[in-house]
Amino acid sequence: MQCLSRRVASHQDLPHRLLSRLITRHQGSPYRRPFRYYSRDVFERLKKQVSLMDMPLIIDAGCGTGESTIRLASKYPDCLVIGADKSARRLKRQGLVDNIAGKDNYLFVRTDLVDLWRQLKAVGWTIRKQLLLYPNPWPRARHIKRRWHAHPVFADMISLAQETEMRCNWPVYADEFGRAVFLVTGQPARTELFSPDKPLSPFERKYQNSGHRLYRCRIKL
């Protein structure tokens, strides 16, 4: 019997009143958190792999068990898809043992996403597409700072790719993400309901089978 997923429960039903203030504050001061101990080594190894492949890049940020990365690699055979996640346990399902592993036109890396986005920004790679699939919504209003669009790294993250797409199952998160994109870039994001023909990730499949409304927010720079 299939286990259905509960909808996001929150007392917040509108974009958070502090979102604009947080983004303005972050833009006014650089983010200087030290890199985690393993991030530098992982990124140096990733740079070598990317140079050997010499293909346009797609980033699957927070890829979980990697199913979405493999599906994206099949959909975009001319690109190198990098699936990144902080969980060694989840990535172990794809054979990752020493923080980086790959096959065909995809790579998996275990790293901290905040570090990875800053490292990608520093090297200036051209990234064709970036996906952020069903991030933790942190639905309690007091946890607004834990949402990606309210994090100090958001401006770097959103500037990396020619196209960024975020998917979620909570309309407030989608609306906030779109507003944050506009505040950072000055360009409107396209936020819409959608129904995927073939779910990209286990979460997307579970939410769709549970009858949730799914949202995506897309920005092209």
Residue 43 C-alpha from the chain's centroid: 17
pLDDT value at 83 more than 80 = yes
Distances (CA, A) of 121 to 27, 126, 147, 155, 158: 15, 10, 20, 10, 10
Contact call for residues 137 and 167 (beta carbons, < 8 A) = no
Segments making up each domain of the chain, as ranges = 36-220
Q: How much is the pTM?
A: 0.93
CATH no. for 36-220 = 3.40.50.150
Q: How far apart are the C-alpha atoms of 212 and 195, rounded to whole Å?
A: 10
pLDDT value at 192 more than 70 = yes
Q: How far apart are the C-alpha atoms of 140 and 111, rounded to whole Å?
A: 26
Mean pLDDT score, 119-140: 96
* Per-residue pLDDT at 3: 64
Q: What percent of the chain has a predicted confidence (pLDDT) above 90?
A: 85
Q: Pairing relation of β-strands 57-61 and 127-133? A: parallel
pLDDT value at 140 more than 90 = yes
pLDDT tens figures, 18-61: 999 999 999 998 899 999 888 999 999 999 999 999 899 999 99
pLDDT tier for residue 197 given thresholds of 50, 70 and 90:
very high
pLDDT tens figures, 157-172: 999 999 999 999 999 9
